[in-house]
Amino acid sequence: MAQTPQQRRANLKFQKEQEARMGKSEDQIKKRAKDAPKSPISPLWLVLLAFVVFGGLFFEVISRIFFR
Nearest to 11 by CA among 3, 22, 21, 20: 3
pLDDT at residue 16, as a whole number:
92
Domain extents for the chain?
Answer: 1-36, 38-68
3-state DSSP assignment of residue 44: helix
Q: Which residues contact 3 (CB under 8 A, 6 or more apart)?
A: 11
Query: HEC string of 6-25?
Result: HHHHHHHHHHHHHHHHCCCC
- Which pLDDT tens digit goes with each residue over 9-59? 999 999 998 888 888 888 777 766 565 677 888 999 999 999 998 998 988
